[in-house]
Amino acid sequence: MKFSRFKVFFPDSVQEASELLREIGDDAKILAGGQSLLPMMAFRLVKPKALIDITNLGLVGVHVSPDQIDIGGCATHRQIETLQNLPVAFEALRDGMQVLGHVSIRNRGTVGGSLAHSDPSAEWPALALAFDAEIMATNKESSRTVEAKEFSLGWFTSSLEPDEIVTSVLFRKPGELTASSLVEVSRRSGDFALCGAICVLSSQNRSITQTKIVVFGVAETAVRLPVVEQMVIGNAIFDDPVNVSRVARESILEIIGNRSNDEKSGFVSQIAAPDVVNNALRKTIIRLQVEAKRKL
Ligand SMILES: Cc1cc2nc3c(=O)[nH]c(=O)nc-3n(C[C@H](O)[C@H](O)[C@H](O)COP(=O)(O)OP(=O)(O)OC[C@H]3O[C@@H](n4cnc5c(N)ncnc54)[C@H](O)[C@@H]3O)c2cc1C
């Protein structure tokens, strides 16, 4: 199918882009990497009359320090995948980028675009939740920080106001000794995840003191599994990891309720997702052990 007709605007600043969003209203859409928007336009699922291109507004910087990573809204997935100096604590970000679509998609698709799009199977909203990331939303007059847990509200719905643009996202390391990983399962390499899990663990004195376990692809947004997190807190990092599959399954079923009745979501929620959660935990513990030994 062909696109319906539209105009493209090339504003000189985020403020001008925000002003255009206000002036044109519902007929306008921000254009970043175009990897979600353009396919939707080709299928005429959306028919914006104006696209506001924000790719040349200097939002592409990625600033890495040992304790945090500050990512510009238009930084691409590939920029994160190929970072040379990514601290071990943030390895889940690289895990996620290695399985997000194909290289050609990662070369264009942006971090801010993925967050704004809020696909329940996408890696970025889940990563943001797992790290309590701070998302900067900017309009013509000001910027505000939105906590990741307040950002994705539901199925392809974010808490951005109509005139706001995601200009950056800040990931902080939760503890001095931290490791993380993302594990997912998809039908074919490059497909969206059927489901995935992210685990972030911090430890002190060889025992796990903080944890975030997030599952995505099973509900309308990525969700934390607090009961599973509690099972992990206090465990010694060099002991055999506790198997969390059963408790993860119960937690996921509680979250999705009746949605588990159809065959696909039943398989995902009852078999695939709990195992993926358990695998993410095991992978993270191994990374944490290696890091702990390195620091001895
Ligand atoms: C074949 C294929 C496979 C894919 N597989 C995956 C996958 O496995 N995992 C995954 O997460 N994604 C996947 N994607 C989607 C891809 O990651 C997109 O890059 C991403 O979802 C959107 O980013 P974008 O920069 O392309 O945004 P665009 O497509 O340009 O925009 C998407 C939406 O966000 C809005 N928007 C964009 N940027 C901003 C901003 N900074 N502030 C406010 N609003 C904004 C746009 O107006 C639009 O509504 C896939 C895409 C394709 C085509």
pLDDT tens per residue, range 268-287: 888 899 999 999 999 999 99
Q: 19: domain CATH number?
A: 3.30.43.10
Q: Supply the residue whose CA is at minimum distance from atom 51 of ligand 1.
A: 35
Is 1 domain-assigned?
Answer: no
Ranges in the chain, pLDDT < 70: 258-264
**How far, in Å, is the centroid of ligand 1 from the Cα of 32?**
8
> Across-strand partners of 69?
64, 171
CA 160-146-278 angle, to 5 degrees, is 105
How many domains are there within the chain?
Answer: 3
Q: Which of 172, 200, 233 is the last residue of a domain?
A: 172
Q: For 104-158, what is each residue's pLDDT tens digit?
A: 999 999 999 999 999 999 999 999 999 999 999 999 999 999 999 999 999 999 9
Is 2 domain-assigned?
Answer: no
- Confidence at residue 262, expressed as pLDDT on a 0 to 100 scale: 59
- Enumerate residues 6+ apart whose C-beta is below 8 A from 210: 174, 175, 200, 201, 202, 233
Residues 102 and 212 in one domain: no
How remote is the C-alpha of 131 from its chain's centroid? 10
Q: Rounded distance, CA 167 to CA 222, Å?
A: 22
Token pair 């001095």 in the structure block, residue: 176
Q: Quick one: which atom of ligand 1 is closest to the CA of 73?
A: 41
**How far, in Å, is the centroid of ligand 1 from the Cα of 218?**
19
Residue-wise burial string across 104-129, b where 16 or more C-beta atoms lie within 10 A, e elsewhere: ebbebbbbbbbbbbbbbbbbbbbbbb
Which region holds residue 156: left if phi is over 0, alpha if psi is between -120 and 50, else beta?
Answer: left
Q: Is 192 in the pocket of ligand 1 (CB under 6 A)?
A: yes
| Residues 30/33/35/37 CA torsion (nearest 10 deg) | 10
Is 217 domain-assigned?
Answer: yes
- Confidence at residue 264, expressed as pLDDT on a 0 to 100 scale: 61
Locate all alpha helices (DSSP H) within 164-244, ordered by sequence: 226-232
Ligand 1 site-directed mutation target among 37, 155, 159, most atoms within 8 Å of CB = 37
**How far, in Å, is the centroid of ligand 1 from the Cα of 21?**
18
Q: Is 97 in the pocket of ligand 1 (CB under 6 A)?
A: no
Q: List, edge to edge, every strand of the sheet that includes 7-9.
A: 7-9, 50-53, 28-31
Residues 289 and 188 in one domain: yes
- Confidence at residue 267, expressed as pLDDT on a 0 to 100 scale: 81
Residues 189 and 112 in one domain: no
- Confidence at residue 271, expressed as pLDDT on a 0 to 100 scale: 86
pTM: 0.96
Is 264 domain-assigned?
Answer: yes
Q: Which of 145, 172, 199 is the last residue of a domain?
A: 172
Residues 43 and 107 in one domain: no
Q: Is 178 in the pocket of ligand 1 (CB under 6 A)?
A: no
Residues 111 and 140 in one domain: yes
Check if the beta carbon of residue 83 is closer than 8 Å to that of residue 91: no
Check if the beta carbon of residue 93 is closer than 8 Å to that of residue 171: yes
Q: Rounded distance, CA 24 to CA 44, Å?
A: 19
- Confidence at residue 3, expressed as pLDDT on a 0 to 100 scale: 86
Containing structural domain, residue 67: 62-172
Task: Please give the backbone phi and psi of residue 285, each rounded to the nearest 5 degrees, phi first.
Answer: -65, -40
Q: 194: domain CATH number?
A: 3.30.390.50
Which region holds residue 111: left if phi is over 0, alpha if psi is between -120 and 50, else beta?
Answer: alpha
**How far, in Å, is the centroid of ligand 1 from the Cα of 6?**
19
